[in-house]
Amino acid sequence: MSGAALVPRRPWKDRHVVLGVTGGIAAYKSVQVARDLTRLGAEVDVVLTASAQRFVAPMSFQGVTGRPVLTDLFSPEGGALHIRLGREADVVCVAPATADFLARAAHGRADDLICTTLLATRAPVLVCPAMNDRMFAHPQVQANLGHLRDRLGYRIAGPAEGALAVAEGEGPGRMIEPWQIEEHVGRALGEDPAFLGRAVLVTAGPTREALDPVRYVGNRSSGRMGYALAQAAWRRGAHVSLVSGPSALEPPEGVDLVQVESAVEMRDAVSDLIPAADVSIFAAAVADYRPAEARDRKVKRGTAGAELTLTLTANPDVAVDTRKLRKEGGVVVGFALETDDVLEHAATKLRDKAFDLLVANDATAEGAGFDVPTNRVTILSGDGAPEELPLLTKDEVAEEILDRVAGRLGAPT
Residues with a catalytic annotation lie at: 219
Which of 42, 41, 36 shows the shortest CA–CA distance to 17? 42
The interface with ligand CTP within residues 343-372 (CB under 6 A) comprises 349, 353
Out of 106, 284, 398, 402, which residue is the one contacting ligand CTP (CB under 6 A)? 284
Whose Cβ is closer to ligand CTP: residue 47's or residue 266's? 266
Whose Cβ is closer to ligand CTP: residue 29's or residue 349's? 349
Whole-angstrom distance, CA of residue 290 vs CA of residue 312: 5
Out of 94, 233, 240, 318, which residue is the one contacting ligand CTP (CB under 6 A)? 318
Whose Cβ is closer to ligand CTP: residue 277's or residue 319's? 319
Number of residues located near ligand CTP, criterion CB under 6 A: 16
Kindly tell me the burial class for residue 44, based on how many C-beta atoms sit within 10 Å of its own C-beta (0-12, 13-18, 19 or more): buried
The 256-259 sheet, strands edge to edge: 256-259, 239-244, 199-204, 279-282, 331-338, 357-362, 377-381, 384-388
Binding mask 162-191 for ligand CTP (x = CB under 6 A): ------------------------------
Q: Is 335 in the site for ligand CTP (CB under 6 A)?
A: yes
The interface with ligand CTP within residues 259-278 (CB under 6 A) comprises 263
Which of these ranges, 2-10, 27-35, 99-107, 312-320, lies near ligand CTP under the rule CB under 6 A? Answer: 312-320
Whose Cβ is closer to ligand CTP: residue 176's or residue 273's? 273
Which of these ranges, 4-12, 233-241, 280-288, 369-377, lies near ligand CTP under the rule CB under 6 A? Answer: 280-288
Would you tell me which residues interact with ligand CTP (CB under 6 A)?
A: 203, 263, 282, 284, 286, 288, 315, 317-319, 334-337, 349, 353
